[in-house]
Amino acid sequence: MSLYRTWRPLTFADLVGQDAVVRTLTAAIESGKLAHAYLFSGPRGSGKTSAAKILARCVNCASGPTSVPDNSCDNCTAMLAGTALDVLEIDAASNRGIDEIRALREAVKFAPATMRMKIYIIDEAHMLTREGANAFLKTLEEPPPHALFILATTEPEKLPVTILSRCQRYAFRRIAVPVMIDRMREIAGREGIAVEESALAAIAYRAEGGLRDALTILEQLAAFAQGAPIDSDMLDVAFGSSGRSFAQSLIDAIIARDPARALTTVESASDAGIDFQVLIRTLIAGFRNLLIARIDPDLLSRDLAPEDAARTAAAAEPLAQATLVRALRTFGEGLALARSGGNARLELEAAVLRFILWTEDPSPDALSARVAALEARLTAPAPELTTQSPKRPVNPPASPGRSEAVSLHQVRAAWQRVRTKVESERQPLRAVLSRAAVEAVDGNAVVLKLPSDWNAQSVREHARLIESAIEEVLGVSLRVRTTVDSSGFSPASVPETPDADALFDYANERIR
């Protein structure tokens, strides 16, 4: 018998990683307040069907209803063997039509043959046809008192809301990686399977939160190893590389800004037959973990093994959050292009080079990133001076209601970030601001040039929002004025972001 069947949980105490579900169901059974219909939803291998079978035994155990079935009485034995007449498991993927549901509606009317209640476990419930779901609805709404329905599904959003509203819903979580590792270690020890810790972690990552998948992989590796200790290399040999090692090598090369090493890694991944869309997703997940580690390393405890979580936190410490966000955006765009029919390898390589060579990228986003990096260096704490001159902050904050002197270069350097803040609150302004160019700084006002009166009017209507964004980005209070020039207007002809000289001037002004 397969490992996952041999070690299928027999009581709620054995159901790992679903503490909230177990607590609520146990309380309902002990208080005698069972519902007539339950919906168990969650990812595959998270214990939905196992929980349904445990609940059935809790209800029909000879010593029940009880939250801890004895699993030894005649009723429990029959249910464990799958021979109980009053507990029916229905696969909705193959019994999904109206005829099958009509047969169920007729059968449910009859009292249970030997047990306390007649229980229907409907697996993959989202596969019911629309007609089948409609036929099932009346029975689910007003079932006979001796009937209990348990629906299990990986895609609850596909079920009609009329069915969802008639069930008590329990959301099963993806099982955390450390929990899966502990469970596999326990089972491997009892089964006499020698396996290294690194291999357990690799299996857990590959199973993606499904303990059943993890146990299936472990069992197959045990057969492949033929008694030898299982290591992570053996996993790649038996199942092929998952791309995780290639993604980590790519991340190291990208952080080191080594394009040659990054492209060599992509070439090696291609030789290994890696799916590049999967590799990009794994790369994004890696950068996401780095960003989470910068914000709160404790949040990685569910997704990574303890050693990997500590290693990720250490690697993330010197990285700026803005850099990691830019990585997520860059590779997310690359994944979208790869999915839309592009060459996935080419899109990955282009995204890698675009990210690494950002200092040579003339796009507004790249220039804005360079300005942000420059500002971060400028605002870093200065070393102690040996002179006795009084210290003052490099960039003193603007006093309320007063404008600090600001140059045209500074406003143009920050304009892309101002746009981003405004557009995040008012998406329709994206088109208008894309046609706006920073024309001048006149005293305490910034002058925006637009190609039409309509564009200018739109800017004036949202002037306060733009002024607030300018103050947040630059730290000064500037009014927004508009001017219209439709003759030969081209936003590209008026730079919205500075060239290298402008950046240098801006840096000098900030230092002063």
Dist. CA 40–CA 59, nearest whole Å: 17
Report the number of distinct structural domains present in the chain. 4
On whether residue 332 sits in a domain, the answer given is yes
What's 383's DSSP letter? P
In a domain, 274, yes or no: yes
- Rounded CA separation 405/385 (Å): 26
CB atoms within 10 A of CB 119: 25
Q: Are residues 26 and 111 in the same domain?
A: yes
Answer for the pair 395, 378: CB distance below 8 angstroms, yes or no. yes
- Tell whether the model's pLDDT for residue 152 goes beyond 60: yes
The residue segments making up the domain with residue 226 are 177-239
Tell the burial category of 292 from Cβ atoms under 10 Å away from its Cβ (0-12, 13-18, 19+): buried
53 and 192 housed in the same domain: no
Evaluate whether 475 touches 411 at the Cβ level (below 8 Å). Answer: no
Report pLDDT digits (tens) over 318-352: 888 888 998 999 999 899 888 887 789 999 999 99
Last residue of one domain, picked from the residues 204, 239, 274: 239
Note whether 30 and 166 are same-domain residues: yes
Domain assignment of residue 122, yes or no? yes
Q: Are residues 99 and 210 in the same domain?
A: no
For residue 485, tell me if it sits in a domain: yes
pLDDT tens digits, one per residue of 90-133: 888 777 778 888 888 888 888 998 899 999 999 888 988 888 88
How many CA atoms lie within 13 Å of 10's alpha carbon, on the beta-carbon side?
Answer: 12
Q: Which helix (H) or strand (E) holds 354?
A: helix 344-356
In a domain, 403, yes or no: no
Q: Give tens-digit pLDDT for 250-279.
A: 999 999 889 999 999 999 999 888 889 989
pTM given for the model: 0.62
- Would you say residue 371 lies in a domain? no
Instruction: Output the domain CATH number for residue 165.
Output: 3.40.50.300
Confidence of residue 359 (pLDDT cuts 50, 70, 90): low
Same domain as 157, residue 182: no
Q: Would you say residue 86 lies in a domain?
A: yes
**Based on the domain organization, do 272 and 228 belong to the same domain?**
no
Residues 221 and 134 both lie in one domain: no
Res 368: pLDDT: 59
Q: Are 502 and 431 in contact (CB under 8 A)?
A: no
- Residue for token digits 């998270």? 46
Q: Could you tell me how many residues make up the chain?
A: 512
Strand order from edge to edge, sheet including 479-484: 437-442, 445-450, 479-484
Report, in this order, helix, strand and coil percent for the chain, each rounded to 5: 55, 10, 35
Do residues 40 and 106 share a domain?
yes
Tell me: pLDDT of 387 over 60.
no
Burial (CB count within 10 angstroms: exposed 0-12, middle 13-18, buried 19+), residue 298: exposed
- CA distance readout (Å), 442 to 194, 340, 390, 408, 488: 75, 46, 32, 9, 24
Residues 115, 8 share a domain:
yes
Which is nearest to 96 in space by CA: 165, 46, 159? 159
Of 200, 219, 239, at which residue does a domain stop?
239
Residue pair 398/475 in contact (Cβ under 8 Å)? The answer is: yes
CATH of residue 498:
3.30.300.180
The alpha-helical segments, DSSP class H, found in 142-210 are 161-164, 177-191, 197-207
Q: Looking at the domain assignment, is residue 249 inside a domain? A: yes
At residue 361 the predicted structure's pLDDT band, cuts being 50, 70 and 90, is low
Distance CA 512, CA 506 (A): 10
Q: Please check whether residues 34 and 166 belong to one and the same domain.
A: yes
Angle at which helices 344-356 and 244-255 pack, to 10 degrees? 30
β-sheet bridge partners, residue 449:
437, 483
- Among the candidates 189, 205, 239, a domain finishes at 239
Tokens of 491: 């936003």
Q: What is the DSSP letter of 17?
A: T
Tell me: do 151 and 64 sit in the same domain: yes
- Is the predicted pLDDT of residue 401 greater than 60, yes or no? no
Long-range CB pairs of 382-388 (<8 Å, 24+ gap) are none
Percentage of the chain exceeding pLDDT 70: 85
Residue 250 vs residues 47, 246, 265, 332: alpha-carbon distances, Å:
35, 6, 6, 15
Alpha helices in 381-494 (DSSP H): 408-425, 429-434, 453-461, 463-474
Based on the domain organization, do 62 and 157 belong to the same domain?
Answer: yes
The DSSP call for residue 405 is P
